[in-house]
Structure 1
Amino acid sequence: MDLNGKVAVVTGSGRGLGLAYATALAAAGASVVVNDVDRAAVDAAVAAIPGSVGVAAAVGDTASAEKLVAAAVEAFGRIDVLITNAGILRDRVLWKMTDEDFDAVVAVHLRGTFTCARAAAIRMREQGGGGRIILIGSPAGQRGNFGQTNYAAAKAGIAAMARTWALELARSEITVNAVVPVAATEMTKTIPAFAPVIEEAERTGRPYPAWLRRDEGLGTVEDVTGLITFLASDAATGITGQAIGIGGDRLALWSHPAERSVLFRDGGWAAADIAAAWDFEQESYGIPAPVVP
């Protein structure tokens, strides 16, 4: 994928998946704006990615979003690609989650995605030539996950925003997709089923076993970058409004919510009528527990 001449902004790219995205985009020829709340992480990323510039800012409010777009325009003259990767975790079960826990995660993930995408879309429409907005989702947003009310809700909202913005920005030739990555990060390394396998791979340099890469769809952060680079490229011109999973050896297209079964009754449905007729096969929920061979 040749991204020469493209300018990309990657939020939360001081470390982890975000840093891998920024590095891969630059390797494909893009000029990159690196972002992180931690100035030291920004400086280290800029030093590692030739030709990049950095912005230390907490994603969430409008001022930070506009600062990121302005940095791209000032340094490189335009913005072609936005990756909304910045995020935080405040995991707690429902009855222990505080207002602050909920608001902090929603502010960064959901509001931050909105403000950054809005700022980028305004500039992309003004300059013409289309663009790519790639939102970072999560399996938790697709299926729910124990202890992640705030995170799952924000990531589900991000998938919904991708579908909505794909409609709204189609005439401007700006594609919008949600990527659902699964990779060995500081968060997933703590999962008991994965921790010893990841630790051994890091210690020995051996690749992850096939059951982890294929059955669980979990690999390194670099395994996710091919999809990001592809979606940022001209080769992905016709792809928009999709939620696409990537991890390890697995690439998957997530389905959109749709009515699975429908019943009709003349005159509508009273409670007793529903009780008598209910025969729906219920949908599964939650991220399945890992199956270790």
Structure 2
Amino acid sequence: MTSAPLLDGKVAVVTGSGRGLGLAYARELARHGAAVVINDVDAATAAEAVATIESDGGRAVAVVAPVGPTATAQQLVRTAVDTFGGLDILVTNAGVLRDTVLWKMSDDDFDTVIGVHLRGTFTCVREAAGWMREHGVAGRIICIGSPTGQRGNFGQTNYAAAKAGIVGMVRTWALELKRAGITANAVIPVAATAMTATVPYFAAAVEADAAGEPMPAFFRHDLGFGTSGDVAGLIAYLASDAAGAVTGQAIGVGGDRLQLWTHPEPAATAYRDGGWTAEALATDFTEAVGPLQGVGESFPPLPDDLRRDPAR
């Protein structure tokens, strides 16, 4: 006797799922039995994603619309309900990049990224959670974060703000939705994407992935950097009944590595009778709080056999 698929009878919406990581998430959810609403801004890309899932034996339908406006969120939920009879899972993956340093970043660069990532996550979760609460569905909200939102990254003011904001919203939603039995979690993926393909440091890993070959162990194990498929398993788990007790968490995954990110906590605490004047801080700050926290990510040197000539 074979057991039912992990997500048998479930219905999922995955934003930004026409290609890349989003498509990997959608295919994995469908593989485990969920019917999936695909979302992309390009009709041909969305149609191809639907065809891919159907060729895998799954069920899917597309909504072609930009994430951010409330109208899109409403259309996504309505399509899930009208086509498949309900909504159990929302994965907010849609995003765009407008990278540049702070002093060159325009209002449009900032607003566009915040609008898709942060506002788009908010509007979609608000709509989905509202429907789930109204219909008594103990649903699953899975929002995609980034190491940039956790640690910062040069040239990504807008992206860092959006991704950090998403994790903050997830913690709040975990509190607000607990009584309804709805979980909310953030996933922090580290994988070969269109963005990492432009970074010379990851060239050997990206080349291996593109060629359908195993990534070198240095990337998979030491850096926790892998394929989109390495992330998709966590998405399917968090979408399942098995993860009913997991909520309010930021969980990193990539390659062979799984990480639970800490919630922000004081790294050091010091007291001074009468409070901390500027003069006291000038004298005692370093001794009082100890080593400062680092920002950004640092990577170990590449092994010689994995280096690529930048001129190639």
TM-score category, normalised to shorter length: over 0.9
1:87-129 Cα deviation digits (max 9, x unpaired): 0000000111101000000000000000000000000001103
Instruction: Provide closer, same or farther for how the CA distance between residues 200 and 72 of structure 1 changes in structure 2, counting only shifts above 3 A.
Output: closer
Q: Does 1:116 align with 2:116?
A: no
Instruction: Specify the code of the residue in structure 1 equivalent to 2:217.
Output: A
Equivalent AA in structure 2 for residue 181 of structure 1 = P
Measured against aligned partners, the alpha-carbon deviations of 1:139-165 in whole angstroms (never above 9, x if no partner) come to 000000010000011000000001000
* 1:98 paired residue among 93, 97, 106: 106
- Residues in 2 aligned to 1:26 and 1:147: alpha-carbon distance in whole angstroms: 36
* Displacement over 2 Å in runs of 4+: 200-203
State the identity as a percent.
Answer: 62
- Whether 2:68 is the aligned partner of 1:60: answer yes
For residues 133-212 of structure 1, the aligned pairs below 5 Å read 133-203=141-211, 205-212=212-219
| 1:13 is the counterpart of 2:20 | no
Aligned Cα root-mean-square deviation (Å):
1.0
Q: Letter of the 2:192 partner, please give it.
A: A
C-alpha distance in 2, partners of 1:32/1:246?
22
Spell out the pairing of 1:266-277 with structure 2 (5 A cutoff): 266-277=273-284
Structure 1 residues 197, 181: closer, same or farther in 2, change over 3 A? Answer: closer
Whether 2:48 is the aligned partner of 1:44: answer yes
Contact 2:185 2:247 in 1 (8 A): yes
- Structure 1 gap ranges (5+): none
1:250 to 232, 249, 257: 257
Amino acid paired to 1:22: A
Question: Aligned AA for 2:126?
Answer: R
* Whole-angstrom distance in 2 between the partners of 1:226 and 1:85: 15
Deviation at 1:202, TM superposition (A): 2.7
Determine the C-alpha separation between the residues in 2 that align with 1:177 and 1:58. 23
- Is 1:85 paired with 2:89? no
Conserved? CA contact 1:21–1:225, under 8 Å: yes
Superposed displacement of residue 287, structure 1: 1.6
Counterpart contact for 1:242–1:253, Cα < 8 Å: yes
Gaps of 5+ in 2: 304-312
Name the counterpart of 1:284: 294
Q: Is the 8 A contact 2:145 2:167 kept in 1?
A: yes
Deviation at 1:133, TM superposition (A): 0.1
* Residue-pair matches, total: 292
Query: What per-residue deviation string (whole Å, max 9, x for no partner) do you get for residues 234-278 of structure 1?
Result: 000000000000001010000111111111112211100112221
CA distance, structure 2, for counterparts of residue 201 and residue 171 of structure 1: 42
Q: What's the offset of the Cα at 1:288?
A: 1.4
8 Å CA contact 1:78–1:127 kept in 2: the answer is no
Cα drift, residue 200 of structure 1: 4.2
Could you tell me which residue of structure 2 aligns to residue 218 of structure 1?
A: 225
For residues 290 and 239 of structure 1, what CA distance do their matches in structure 2 show? 32
